[in-house]
Amino acid sequence: MDDLTRIKGIGTGSAKALAGAGIASFAALAGVDPAAPPEVAGLRSPDWAAWIAQAATLAATGADQGGTDPHTAPATMPPASTPEPTPATGTLLVTGPKRGRWRAGWHFGPEPVRLALADPTDEERAAIEADPTLTVEFEAEPEA
């Protein structure tokens, strides 16, 4: 059984409803025909096409077999190109959703949170930057 809540738009209630309908893995969700999705009690406005695409990506990366760390893997399709690495000095400004979001030990809400690059570890910073619900901006330190 995979953690279907890693897919954007699927919460714990939707994941339970999908599991009750026999869809409890990324591979099973990826195998759903978007033209004729099953009727699943308890789902409100499912975005089958987006869910199926994200599930296919997660299944292909081996996330359903423990091949990807669930805390750092993006829940959406990876970007087409690799972003430039963030320099080692400066500040991250992180803004979260209106209701707030915990990621890597910090809480982010609608007000920007300023993090010195030395504060989060590389793994924590990667998790913050990969979270699609967070907006991350980099501020370089002014030159002396």
Do 104 and 136 touch, CB atoms closer than 8 A? no
Distance in angstroms (rounded) separating the CA atoms of residues 139 and 14: 38
- Tell me the pLDDT tens digit for each residue of 92-129: 889 989 988 888 888 899 998 988 877 788 888 888 88
**Per-residue model confidence (pLDDT) at position 142:** 66
pLDDT over 70 at 10, yes or no: yes
**Per-residue model confidence (pLDDT) at position 42:** 81
* Percent above pLDDT 90 for the chain: 3
Do 74 and 128 touch, CB atoms closer than 8 A? no
The residues spanned by each domain of the chain are: 4-65, 91-139
**Per-residue model confidence (pLDDT) at position 62:** 66
Instruction: Give 66-82 as a 3 state SS string.
Output: CCCCCCCCCCCCCCCCC
Distance in angstroms (rounded) separating the CA atoms of residues 144 and 142: 6
**Per-residue model confidence (pLDDT) at position 143:** 63
Do 110 and 88 touch, CB atoms closer than 8 A? no
Among residues 49, 65, 1, the alpha carbon closest in space to that of 28 is found at 1
